Amino acid sequence: MASKGKVLVIDDDPDFCEFMRIGLESDGFEVLTAANGKIGLELMRREKPNLVFLDVVMAHPTEGVDVTAMIKEDPELWDIPIIMLTSIMDTEYIGHFPTDKPLPIDQFLTKPVPMAEVLRIANETVGAKS
């Protein structure tokens, strides 16, 4: 089966990466995973994915946010759609966000996201781009 598109999952939780891989692959996507922002950026530059799922809170509370900033500064990467995922649920962590500027992301989802929702978004976003 031909790949519907390349999806990159950046998350420091290996289980979460694996579950995303299994779900997305079962729907015909090619899936790459990265355990941190640095590896994620390298993979983006090398593999040019069609869509990125990015976790906000990794080793540092704002690692995900920092990654988005670097993506949008890179002319080769800036048009790759980014879906931000988080398990943030209180204002204490939200306080880490740079509230003075809008986040350069396409959508913001709270974990756990039902796989149906993940696939719907992936199909819509990648379909619209290609």
Partner 1 sequence: MIDLHPLKLELVERISWLIRLRWVAVASTLAGIAVARLVEPALPVLPLVLVTATIAFYNALFVLYARSLWRRRGTGLRRRRSPTFIAVQIVLDLLALTALLHFSGGIENPFGVFLLFHVIIASILLSRLASFGVALLASTLYAGLAFSELAGWLPHIHLPQLADPWRYANLIYVAAQVTAIALTLLPAAAMASSVAERLRRRTQELLQANQVCEINRSELADVNERLRQLDAARTQFIVMVAHELRAPMGAIISALNLVLGGYAPPEKQREVLERAQARAYELLDLIRDLLELVRARRIEGPAQGVPVRTEKVLENVLGLLRVEAESKGLSIEVKVAPDLPPVIATEDQLRSVWTNLISNAIKYNRPGGRLTITLTQDGDQVVGAVEDTGIGIAREDMPRLFEEFFRSTQAKAMVQRGTGVGLAIVKRTVESYGGRVWAESELGKGSKFSFSLPKAPDELATASLEDKQELS
Residues that bind partner 1 (CB under 8 A): 13, 15-16, 18-19, 22-23, 26-27, 57, 59-61, 87, 89-90, 92-93, 111-116, 119
* Residue 31 CB-half CA count within 13 A: 22
Cα(76)–Cα(89) distance, integer angstroms: 33
Q: Shortest Cβ distance from residue 74 to partner 1 (Å)?
A: 26
Let me know the angle formed at the C-alpha of 15 by 66 and 60, rounded to the nearest 5 degrees. 25
Q: Shortest Cβ distance from residue 76 to partner 1 (Å)?
A: 30
Between 20 and 82, whose beta carbon lies closer to partner 1?
20
Q: Shortest Cβ distance from residue 33 to partner 1 (Å)?
A: 14
Between 62 and 77, whose beta carbon lies closer to partner 1?
62
Helix (H, G, I), strand (E, B) or coil at 47: helix
Q: Shortest Cβ distance from residue 79 to partner 1 (Å)?
A: 28
Q: CA gyration radius for the chain?
A: 14
Between 31 and 80, whose beta carbon lies closer to partner 1?
31
Between 59 and 102, whose beta carbon lies closer to partner 1?
59
Closest CA to 64 of 25, 21, 99, 35: 35
Q: How many CB atoms lie within 10 A of CB 125?
A: 19
